[in-house]
Structure 1
Amino acid sequence: MTRDASPSPVSYRERLLPGPSLFIALVLVIPAVALVLTPINGQWAIPAGVLIYVILAVTFLLLSPVIIVSDGRLTAGRAEIPVSLLGNVELLGAESLRAAIGPGADARAFLLLRGWIHRGVKIANVDPVDPAPYWVLTSRHPQRLAEAIEAARAA
């Protein structure tokens, strides 16, 4: 009797969720919507503002991309690449991230950025047929992401 090969466990998974400060700032939508709707129907102004807030908050949560290293592949949002086609992984702090995506950046690079995360990784792409020379991903845990990529490449 043979066993079916089970998929390897995920070695890294991170959802790039907005921080609490974005949701706190988003509360300002409630009075803004209420101010606009009060002349039309004051009774529905506050409930409509709360509804718009909830819709925006849920949208931010559902549209947050995920970075996964599993089964020998790196998935960043909708993009996917085998880790065997990745080269050097460089950790980026706030300043080096700004430089990596700034005016000197290659326009062909693959970027998965979220403005509320100020560090990340720059990963060389050694695939000869892929036009993107490197990937830049924001991450709250760039060291763990780099270690997961290295471990997946070694496996």
Structure 2
Amino acid sequence: MDQNDTALTCAVNVEWLNPSGIVIRKITYKQAQLRMIRNSLKEIFLEVSTVKATPIKIKLKGFKVFSNFMLDGKATIRFSEEEKCTVFLSNAPPSLLVAFLKLMAVKIANSSSNGLTKEELFKKTRAHQLSDKPNSFDDISPVTNAELARAKKMAIGKGSTTT
């Protein structure tokens, strides 16, 4: 994978839902750039940005990708935990969309809290919030061969003996 796989330019619709599933806010961009970024706590976010608007950062946690129409350049990412929103992607180059979604899957599979216990993660988050440092975001690097091998190993381990 090359550096171009870490960003995707396409049409984006973002809808936020209330607990009963009704759309409370909707944003439509005819051309937006999606990037995967990481904050100082090593949490992964999806950033939706345009030329004029303020970027939207959505934490990549508890999401599901619907990719039935990926070959048409369309996909849907539904977040169910913290954000309760849905991101609709359309008019994307199919090859870049496939590469971007693969990058997302591999990076999420390899970042499962970096081996920290829940208590250690809570302490780290609390220390970060109490510090005076501003929250900084960095671009995510392309997939390395080691990350790809680790993701494949994790995917093989999830299968049952009958499949």
Report the TM-score when normalising by structure 2.
0.38
Q: Comparing both structures, which one devotes a greater share of its residues to strand?
A: 2
Which of the pair has more CA radius of gyration? 1
Q: Comparing both structures, which one devotes a greater share of its residues to helix?
A: 1
Report the TM-score when normalising by structure 1.
0.40
